[in-house]
């Protein structure tokens, strides 16, 4: 069974990443979620990645407010796509999370999306796009969703526009 693996760095990151799981549920995309951190051994992280791939993981979404290096640790253990979601720490404005997430080693790419809830949602959409490359039904659902979103924006615009 194909699915997306969501790895969060701590329990507190789930509050943000709940938006990711809700997006997967909207598209009926299978996912699993686990908590791993850099406090775990690299062997534990790599064991999880290997197990997830054997079960059918197609991509990994990694989110952490503690350390952006978690995405690199995951990337070092797989050639599957990695999507990183930087999450603001209560002590910083978010720039630290973004900078530590986007600076990655050569040849271990990590796609970094927006910060916090917007990033959680966009990470799910990116993973859905990856899955839709080989799933025509999912590709149709994704296109239909885009049309619905476009219609909402156009309707909202009509309600506020003042044109001469």
| Cβ partners under 8 Å of residue 16, min gap 6 | 63, 65, 85, 87, 116, 117, 119, 120
On whether 10 is known to bind a ligand per the annotation, the reply is yes
Burial of 101 from C-beta contacts in 10 A (0-12 / 13-18 / 19+)? buried
- Average per-residue pLDDT in the chain? 91
To 10 degrees, the CA torsion angle through 150, 154, 159, 161? 130
Q: What is the CATH number of domain 3-134?
A: 3.40.50.1970
How confident is the model over 7-59, as pLDDT tens digits?
Answer: 999 999 999 999 999 999 999 999 999 999 877 788 999 999 999 999 999 99
Give the pLDDT confidence score for residue 28 in this predicted structure. Answer: 98
Give residue limits of the domains in the chain: 3-134
pLDDT score of 105 more than 90: no
Which residues are registered as beta bridge partners of 82?
A: 60
For residue 164, what pLDDT band results from cuts at 50, 70 and 90?
low
Q: Is 100 annotated as a binding residue?
A: no
Provide mean pLDDT across the span 106-130: 94
Residues composing the chain: 164
Question: Tens digits of per-residue pLDDT, 126-150?
Answer: 999 999 999 999 999 999 999 999 9
3-class DSSP assignment, residue 115 = coil
- Is residue 2 a contact partner of residue 58, using CB atoms and an 8 Å limit? yes
Beta-carbon-side half-sphere exposure of residue 69 (alpha carbons within 13 Å): 6
Q: What confidence score (pLDDT) does residue 159 get?
A: 84
Res 82: pLDDT: 97
Segment 60-83 mean pLDDT: 91
Q: φ and ψ at 73, to 5 degrees?
A: -60, -40
Q: Which two tokens stand for residue 116?
A: 């916090």
């Amino acid at each position: 069974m194909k699915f997306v693996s969501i790895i969060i760095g701590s329990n507190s990151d789930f509050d943000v990443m709940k938006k990711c799981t809700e997006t997967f549920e909207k598209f009926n995309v299978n996912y699993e979620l686990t908590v791993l951190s850099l406090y775990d051994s690299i062997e534990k992280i790599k064991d999880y990645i290997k197990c997830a791939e054997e079960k059918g993981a197609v991509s990994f979404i990694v989110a952490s407010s503690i350390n952006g290096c978690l995405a690199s640790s995951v990337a070092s253990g797989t050639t599957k796509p990695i999507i990183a979601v930087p999450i603001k720490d209560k002590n910083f404005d978010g720039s630290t999370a973004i900078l530590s997430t986007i600076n990655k080693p050569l040849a271990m790419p990590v796609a970094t999306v927006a910060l916090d809830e917007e990033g959680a949602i966009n990470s799910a959409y990116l993973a859905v796009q990856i899955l839709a490359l080989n799933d025509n039904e999912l590709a149709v659902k994704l296109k239909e969703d885009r049309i619905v979103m476009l219609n909402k924006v156009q309707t909202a615009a009509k309600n506020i526009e003042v044109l001469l």
